């Protein structure tokens, strides 16, 4: 290959570029990003940067010559990709130019979902990018604010916790009976909700948002039961959608992301990594798309190596996903891929004290480990899940351990 284009100045895109150089690729390397910023870390956006305790510059990913000097690459920032011509091997950009490639890394990530009637009205925000974070922070600093967070997933919950840390009134709305019940189970979801209530958040579950009221600026959130919640600021945290719109008509398979094989190959000479990639993970026997920080790092590097393998068979990408979430004085850590219907048992601590380790089992195997203020055991179980730890063996070991 003489030229490789990485579309996505994201964490996954940066790690792909680093891996390409580290693996010996010496050709032309271009990284395209629709934001004006060099790659940055997203986890602090809902916590330290939003809280005002970090300057935005601290999120910059400076490792590996991010400025381009050490990696000998060209940055095309503020340049949105709008099309892909696989036959001509060119990426079309919004400014009318295009980039030729022999190899392509797709790392465009995902875009925050908006609710109907929420876009374009002052006071309503999503939190995905650095600019999103700074706009929201400015709004929060404008004076006393009643904040409504729609969606009690991890981003929504982190925003709620950060806003409470700023002394703001917060209402957290969730359409499910308990937050994260579909992923972590109702017992753990109830603990999660109680934690926020104990910190003064008005947590309302089983409620749907029907619309937004006010003039040019939001004033109230209207709920499905006809009631209303007063709001000066609203944060929509109802998930993301893979950023694949620019790939329509390209011939790539698009289905909740760029569909790849087990090695991250989407088409000859094309790989995908990070939030936008969907692939069959042989370790879990599932087709998955993973939106975690750790996956962006590992999959970005794996996809780069797969690209350089060319026509070779490649190596399956089969991680045990892992992530963390900091809320108040609690750190939640999750390794694996738990799902609805899994068996869950607390093996250390207790849900009542909110310091525990729980294991999730399915089809005779341990498929997940969740810890609240127990990060070290979660990481140990992550390695054991990768080794195929049997459910009965895990329980027997715990019985035999004092």
Global pTM value: 0.95
Q: What is the pLDDT of residues 336-379, one digit of tens each?
A: 999 888 999 999 999 999 999 999 999 999 999 999 999 999 99
pLDDT of residue 402: 65
**What is the extent of the structural domain holding 190?**
114-236
Say if CB 201 and CB 164 are below 8 A apart.
yes
Residue 315 lies in a domain: no
Question: What pLDDT does 273 receive?
Answer: 98
Residue 63 has pLDDT above 50, yes or no: no
For residues 275 and 109, the answer to whether their CB atoms sit within 8 Å is yes
Judged by average pLDDT, the poorest of 55-64, 89-98, 371-380 is 55-64
> Would residue 188 count as lying in a domain?
yes
3-state secondary structure of 347: strand
Residue 102 and residue 46 in one domain: yes
pLDDT score of 52? 96
Number of separate domains in the chain: 3
The lowest-confidence range among 62-66, 82-86, 212-216, 296-300 is: 62-66
pLDDT at 19 over 80: yes
Q: Is residue 324 part of a domain?
A: no
Whether residue 221 is found in the same domain as residue 268 = no
Backbone angles phi, psi at 127, to 5 degrees: -130, 100
Quote the percentage of the chain above a pLDDT of 90. 91
Compute the distance between CA of residue 368 and CA of residue 361 in angstroms, rounded to an integer: 7
Give the model's pLDDT for residue 183: 87
- Please check whether residues 91 and 157 belong to one and the same domain: no
Identify the domain boundary among 236, 252, 278: 236
Residue 321 located in a structural domain:
no
For residues 105 and 251, state if they share a domain.
yes
Rounded CA-CA distance 56/78 in Å is: 18
Contact 156, 235 (CB under 8 A): yes
Domain boundary among 220, 236, 252: 236
Which long-range contacts (C-beta less than 8 Å, at least 24 apart) are formed by 113-118? 113/236, 113/238, 113/239, 113/240, 113/241, 114/236, 115/150, 115/209, 115/236, 115/238, 116/211, 117/211, 117/212, 118/212, 118/234, 118/236
* CB 171, CB 256: distance < 8 Å: no
Task: Output the domain CATH number for residue 88.
Answer: 3.50.50.60
130 and 106 housed in the same domain: no
Tokens found for residue 383 = 């390695």
Beta-strand (E) ranges in 151-226? 169-174, 202-205, 209-214, 218-223
pLDDT at 67 over 70: no
* Claim to verify: residue 335 and residue 389 sit in the same structural domain: yes
In a domain, 314, yes or no: no
* Residue 24 maps to a domain: yes
- Residue that finishes a domain, picked among 260, 277, 309: 309
Per-residue pLDDT tens digits for 162-206: 999 999 999 999 999 999 988 899 999 999 999 999 999 999 999
Same domain membership, residue 75 and residue 121: no
Q: Are residues 103 and 250 in the same domain?
A: yes
64 pLDDT band (50/70/90 cuts)? very low
- Percent of the chain past pLDDT 70, that is, above it, reads 98
């Amino acid at each position: 290959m003489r030229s490789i284009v990485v579309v996505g100045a994201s964490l996954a895109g940066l790690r792909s570029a680093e891996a390409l150089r580290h693996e010996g690729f010496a050709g032309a390397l271009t990284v395209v990003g629709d934001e004006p910023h060099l790659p940055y870390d997203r986890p602090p956006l809902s916590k330290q940067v939003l809280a005002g305790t970090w300057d935005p510059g601290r999120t910059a990913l400076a490792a590996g010559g991010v400025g381009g000097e050490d990696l000998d690459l060209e940055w095309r920032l503020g340049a949105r990709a709008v099309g892909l011509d696989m036959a001509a091997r060119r990426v079309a950009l919004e400014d009318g130019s295009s980039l030729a490639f022999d190899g392509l890394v797709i790392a465009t990530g995902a875009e925050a979902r908006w609710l109907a009637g929420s876009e374009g009205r002052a006071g309503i925000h999503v939190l995905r990018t650095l600019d999103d974070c700074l706009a929201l922070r400015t709004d929060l600093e404008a004076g006393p604010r009643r904040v409504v967070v729609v969606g009690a997933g991890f981003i929504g919950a982190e925003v709620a916790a950060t806003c409470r840390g700023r002394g703001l009134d917060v209402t957290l709305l969730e359409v499910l009976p308990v937050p994260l019940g579909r992923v972590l189970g109702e017992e753990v979801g109830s603990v999660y909700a109680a934690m926020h209530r104990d910190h003064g958040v008005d947590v309302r579950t089983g409620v749907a948002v029907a619309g937004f009221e006010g003039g040019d600026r939001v004033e109230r959130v209207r709920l499905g039961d006809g009631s209303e919640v007063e709001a000066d600021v609203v944060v929509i945290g109802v998930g993301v959608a893979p950023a694949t719109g620019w790939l329509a008509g390209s011939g790539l398979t698009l289905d909740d992301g760029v569909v790849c094989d087990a090695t991250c190959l989407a088409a000859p000479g094309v790989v995908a990594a990070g939030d936008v990639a969907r692939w069959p993970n042989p370790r879990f026997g599932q087709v998955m798309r993973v939106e975690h920080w750790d996956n962006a790092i590992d999959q970005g590097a794996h996809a780069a190596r797969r690209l350089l393998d060319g026509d070779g068979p490649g190596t399956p990408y089969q991680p045990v996903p892992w992530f963390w979430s900091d809320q108040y004085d609690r750190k939640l850590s999750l390794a694996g891929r738990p799902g609805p219907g899994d068996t869950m048992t607390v093996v250390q601590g207790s849900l009542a004290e909110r310091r525990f380790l729980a294991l999730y089992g399915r089809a005779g195997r341990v498929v997940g480990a969740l810890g609240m203020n127990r990060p070290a055991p979660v990481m140990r179980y992550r390695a054991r899940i990768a080794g195929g730890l049997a459910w009965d063996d895990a329980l027997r070991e715990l019985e035999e351990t004092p």
